[in-house]
Structure 1
Amino acid sequence: MPDDQYRHAFTRWLTRLRDDIEVHFNPFHRDPAVGEWLYSLFRDNGEMTTAHLAPHVMARRTLLAESSVAALIRDIRAAGHRAPDIVIDVMEPGLPYSLGKISVEGTHIFSVDAQGVLAEAADGVQTYVAYPGWTVWPTCPAHRLGVHPSSTAGLAEWFCSAGHVLRPICRDLS
């Protein structure tokens, strides 16, 4: 297959994924790692159905969720808090989740990019830390308010309730 036809077939597959309401992520994501991952899947498997794509999405989300939670726990410890026992739930593909379901303490992971998963995992971890003892973590030192996770422009950040970005969620995901 000529190179142009191969690229066209790959783009057509990405468009079908984007239009599939069960996929829940943008296959045209600006993160080059997402494009490389999808291209390697296409190169090795051709145009996959949602059912064939599901185990690959599950594996990627699980790996990213695990590394995100590990980084968040390091940040919690660095802030002087006891490390929580965070649960990552994995539900295999089937009904009602055709791509399976990964969640961090009840927060569903929809992203397939590292920063998106980090922001979603941070939401679950933050909720878990807050629940038993009303611990607010992290807080904005300038306003003494709790902050919330956000993923904008491809970067996971803590956003202060007063309306500004505090800092990236984690500097090191390894």
Structure 2
Amino acid sequence: MGRLARVSNFLDWRDRMLRAVWRQDDSLPEQVLAWMSEVYEESGEISGEEFCDLWTTRTFSLARSAFEVIRESVLDDTGKRIVGEEFSYVNYFRDPEFGPVGVVRFKSAEVSTPDWTEVLGVVAEGVQEFVMDYYGTVWPVCDRHSFGLHVDYLHETAVWKCHAGPAGGHVVRALDPSIRL
């Protein structure tokens, strides 16, 4: 099979898989599309059901990793721990009534995509709510303005943004401390 035919087969398969997970490729980040390409290279034209399982497994795995990153960030910034029964609202569930793939729910936010940036942002918002509810502490805080920060996205990177200042706000740092802006 020629390269053009293989690319055509991949694009057809990718479109079918995106319909299987109730998504459209124009709204997906490059990271997700690259992951789909890797799945296709490794496994070929797997079924929609198998793909939904991979999508869910990857989303849950990313959520667990994101939670560790954010948990460490809270500990470093505040000295407060995010563990135990009080954090029981972190849920991973899969209910076919609500869609073909699983959902990660953190407090009032939920995510159902294998995109690190989006998962990290949702986890950060959930942990931020927890820190406020459980500890009565605003986290994180802008050192320059002493206001609480908000999750935002800049060039497919999840960031903490301060809404104070003359230009309507400024990016303070990436949510993932390993990323330097």
TM-score range, shorter chain: 0.7 to 0.9
Residue 97 of structure 2 aligns to a residue whose secondary structure is coil
Structure 1 residues 53-107: Cα deviation after superposition (integer angstroms, max 9, x where no partner): 2211111111111111101111111113311224431112511121121122342
Superimposed CA distance per residue, residues 145-169 of structure 1 (whole angstroms, 9 cap, x where no aligned partner) = 1111122311010011221111111
- Mean CA deviation greater in 67-76 or 82-91: 82-91
Q: Output the amino acid matched with 2:156.
A: G
Q: Which residue of 2 aligns with 1:14?
A: 14
Counterpart position of 1:127: 129
The answer to whether residue 144 in structure 2 is matched with residue 146 in structure 1 is no
TM-score by length of 1: 0.84
CA distance in 2, matches of 1:25, 1:117: 18
Secondary structure at 2:30's aligned position in 1? coil
For 2:163, the aligned partner's letter is S
Please give the TM-score of this superposition, normalised by the length of structure 2: 0.81
Q: Quick check: 1:14–1:27 contact (8 Å CA) kept in 2?
A: no
**Are residues 25 and 55 of structure 1, via their aligned partners in 2, closer, same or farther at CA, if it must alter by over 3 Å?**
farther
1:83 paired to 2:89: no
Choose from 164, 168, 172 the match for 2:170: 164
The corresponding residue for 2:103 is: 101
Does the 8 Å CA contact 2:149/2:160 hold for their aligned counterparts?
Answer: yes
Root mean square deviation of aligned Cα = 2.5
Give, as a single letter, the amino acid of the residue that structure 2 aligns with 1:10: F
Identity rate, percent: 21
2:132–2:139 CA contact under 8 A, matched in 1: yes
- Unpaired runs of 5+ residues, structure 1, are none
Shift of 1:28: 5.0
State the shift of 1:142 in Å.
Answer: 0.9
After TM superposition, give the deviation of residue 140 of structure 1 in Å: 0.6
Match of 1:46 in 2: 45
Go from structure 1 to structure 2 and tell me whether the alpha carbon gap of 1:82 and 1:70 turns closer, same or farther (over 3 Å shift): same
Answer whether contact 2:152 2:159 (CA < 8 A) is retained.
yes
Partners of 2:137 and 2:25 lie apart in 1 by 32
| Counterparts in 2 of 1:58 and 1:117: CA distance versus 1, 3 Å | same
1:60 aligns with 2:58: yes
Q: CA deviation at 1:26?
A: 5.6
Counterpart CA distance in 2 for 1:104 and 1:41 is 27
